[in-house]
């Protein structure tokens, strides 16, 4: 009998499923970390079986109609090719503001650390994504053996050609070892992402037996404002009272962290993402969840105009959202799919106009629909008010959007799009807006190696997000792809791929 992947040591399947579904008020003290937290925490690779029902798909079939309207460069493997079939997922990518060909990516990498468990893997390209020769794993804080949930940000030029790239990540341990204790940490690189030395590691928020910190993302101020160089990390702090959004800042280029602020007021929040506008204003977008169902029902933004010292009250981006299911055990998932999905935001700021911001998410089309679509909302007054969401999608499900904006203010978005609703198969699609998210152009398919299959990890976990960055060298998405086979088998493995999309 195949083993269940998403298992926690010492916790039986019936009890675990109960913890996922029970209201928080009935949950045990400290909050079960898998209730709304990162599924990676519950992904025990020792129990994973790499299975694939096996029906190969090739470009040109009805499920994979090849490329669309834009030019797509070669699909390039980002992670180590000889990775023994170990998985990678949850990719993120950033571009050096002083050297556009220098791209740095991160992912949950079950090979890079060499311990057969997840690490905060990093990858570096110096030719605009054509090759990714530099790879490794972040060091972890003392006492931890597992890492995941990558986030990256380049800072401004500090002089002398030094541009730091900051990597935020989550450190934790499996049940039955040294306790979970989700801890947020940051490591920075001074050589364009080639190395991330342990000497550059700082703990931002320490977990305890009753506090689990989760899903950190990071942003750095590249503006010419008085706050230039500040670095911000946001995350969710789960404790017995719920999940609140926290923000910390560094004013010394990542050497130390302080000015902790609680910016959320609802009982349950998740998926915060910080971004800095061209005038130095800091924004954090996050989702509000129904604590009884753990599904998103609203999106909010907070803003700080004084470098993260004080924050506004939450500003409503959208309410009445019918969030996608996020139970990692496969209950009430997308039709004929058991992998975890969710409704969390992605946010970007216009590079030169401080009034313009954009937030996107994936959600059900309506309260009675089982069709997932992409929604985009825009602000033209610095995040004070937001437009009614623009919806686009198709006959099947679209989810996991990632936004970016190029130096001219053009808006790019990528997302997974299911091929149909009979199988757990999907492709990576791209759209572009040249009018500030009023309209989006036609879809272009990015992946060219057959449809992506949610088969590894018993088909339950494909990661929680994908990444995108836009610049003068093109649009660079990173995504989880399943075209390669685990060595010596006919079973697929999860890898990270990238490509350059040229508008």
pLDDT at 323: 95
pLDDT at 137: 98
Backbone angles phi, psi at 17, to 5 degrees: -60, -40
Instruction: Look at 25 and 287; give whichever has higher pLDDT.
Output: 287
- Is the sign of the CA dihedral 415, 246, 187, 169 positive or negative? negative
Tell me how many domains the chain contains. Answer: 1
Task: Read off the DSSP letter of residue 20.
Answer: H
Q: Contact, 119 vs 100, CB < 8 A?
A: no
Asked if residue 8 has pLDDT above 50, the reply is no
On whether residue 3 sits in a domain, the answer given is no
Instruction: Look at 156 and 327; give whichever has higher pLDDT.
Output: 156
On whether residue 104 sits in a domain, the answer given is yes
- The residue segments making up the domain with residue 421 are 13-502
Q: CATH code at 103?
A: 2.120.10.10
On whether residue 494 sits in a domain, the answer given is yes
On whether residue 200 sits in a domain, the answer given is yes
Question: Residue 294 — very low, low, confident or very high, per pLDDT cuts 50/70/90?
Answer: confident
On whether residue 5 sits in a domain, the answer given is no
State both tokens at 244: 């609140």
State both tokens at 352: 């030169």
The region of weakest confidence among 112-116, 201-205, 476-480 is: 112-116
User: pLDDT tens, 373-398?
Assistant: 999 999 999 999 999 999 998 889 99
Asked if residue 101 has pLDDT above 90, the reply is yes
Q: Taking residues 34-51, what's their average pLDDT?
A: 62
The H-or-E segment that residue 19 falls in is: helix 13-21
On whether residue 4 sits in a domain, the answer given is no
Of how many residues is the chain composed? Answer: 503
pLDDT at 261: 97
The mean of the pLDDT values for the chain is 87
The residues facing 120 across adjacent strands are 108
Identify the residue whose tokens are 């050497």.
255
Query: Considering only CA atoms, which of 462, 453, 460 is closest in space to residue 491?
Result: 453
Q: Taking residues 182-203, what's their average pLDDT?
A: 97
pLDDT at 468: 98
* Most confident among 27-31, 63-67, 97-101 (mean pLDDT): 97-101
Per-residue CA distances from 454 to 117, 149, 413, 477 (Å): 20, 19, 22, 19
Question: Residue 10 — very low, low, confident or very high, per pLDDT cuts 50/70/90?
Answer: very low
CA-CA distance, 123 to 151, in Å (whole number)?
13
Q: Taking residues 439-458, what's their average pLDDT?
A: 93
Q: Taking residues 111-116, what's their average pLDDT?
A: 91
Chain centroid, CA 177 distance in Å:
27
On whether residue 121 sits in a domain, the answer given is yes
pLDDT at 33: 56
On whether residue 81 sits in a domain, the answer given is yes
Query: Considering only CA atoms, which of 338, 344, 373 is closest in space to residue 359?
Result: 344
CA-CA distance, 167 to 217, in Å (whole number)?
9
């Amino acid at each position: 009998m195949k083993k269940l992947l998403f298992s926690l040591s010492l916790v039986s399947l019936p009890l675990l499923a109960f913890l996922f579904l029970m209201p928080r008020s009935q949950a045990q003290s400290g909050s079960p970390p898998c209730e709304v937290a990162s599924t990676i925490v519950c992904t025990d690779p020792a129990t994973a079986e790499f299975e694939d029902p096996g029906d190969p798909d090739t470009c040109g079939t009805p499920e994979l109609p090849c490329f669309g309207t834009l030019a797509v460069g070669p699909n390039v493997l980002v992670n180590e090719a000889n990775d023994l079939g170990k998985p990678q997922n949850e990719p993120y990518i950033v571009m050096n503001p002083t050297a556009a060909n220098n791209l740095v990516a991160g992912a949950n990498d079950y090979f890079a650390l060499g311990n057969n468990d997840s690490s905060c893997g990093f990858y570096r390209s110096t030719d605009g994504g054509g090759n990714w020769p530099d790879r490794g794993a972040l060091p972890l804080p003392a006492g931890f053996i597992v890492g995941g949930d990558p986030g990256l940000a380049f800072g401004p030029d500090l002089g002398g050609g030094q541009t730091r790239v900051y990597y935020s990540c989550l450190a934790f341990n499996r049940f039955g070892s040294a306790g979970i204790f989700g801890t947020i940490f940051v490591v920075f690189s001074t050589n364009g992402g080639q190395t991330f030395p342990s000497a550059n590691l700082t703990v931002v928020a320490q977990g305890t037996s009753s506090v689990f910190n989760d899903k950190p993302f990071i942003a750095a101020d590249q503006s010419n404002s008085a706050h230039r160089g500040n670095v911000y990390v946001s995350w969710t702090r789960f404790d017995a009272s719920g999940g609140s959004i926290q923000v910390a800042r560094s004013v010394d280029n990542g050497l130390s962290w302080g000015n902790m602020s609680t910016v959320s007021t609802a009982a349950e929040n998740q998926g915060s993402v910080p971004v800095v506008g061209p005038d130095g204003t800091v924004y954090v977008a996050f989702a509000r969840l129904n604590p009884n169902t753990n599904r998103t029902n609203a999106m909010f933004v907070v803003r700080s105009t004084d470098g993260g010292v004080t924050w506004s009250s939450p500003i409503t981006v959208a309410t009445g959202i019918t969030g996608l299911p996020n139970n990692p055990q496969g209950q009430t998932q997308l039709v004929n799919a058991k992998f975890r999905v969710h409704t969390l935001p992605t946010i970007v700021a216009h590079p030169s106009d401080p009034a313009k911001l954009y937030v996107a998410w994936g959600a059900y089309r309506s309260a009675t629909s089982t069709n997932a679509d992409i929604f985009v909302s825009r602000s033209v007054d610095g995040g004070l008010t937001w437009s009614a969401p623009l919806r686009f999608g198709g006959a099947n499900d679209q989810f996991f959007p990632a936004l970016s904006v190029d130096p001219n203010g053009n808006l790019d978005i990528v997302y997974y799009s299911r091929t149909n609703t009979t199988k757990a198969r999907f492709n990576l699609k791209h759209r572009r807006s040249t009018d500030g998210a009023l309209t989006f152009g036609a879809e272009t398919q990015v992946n060219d190696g057959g449809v992506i299959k949610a088969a590894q990890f018993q088909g339950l976990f494909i990661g929680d997000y994908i990444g995108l960055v836009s610049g003068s060298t093109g649009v660079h998405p990173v995504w989880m792809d399943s075209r390669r086979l685990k060595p010596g088998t006919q079973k697929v493995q999860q890898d990270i791929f990238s490509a350059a999309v040229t508008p």
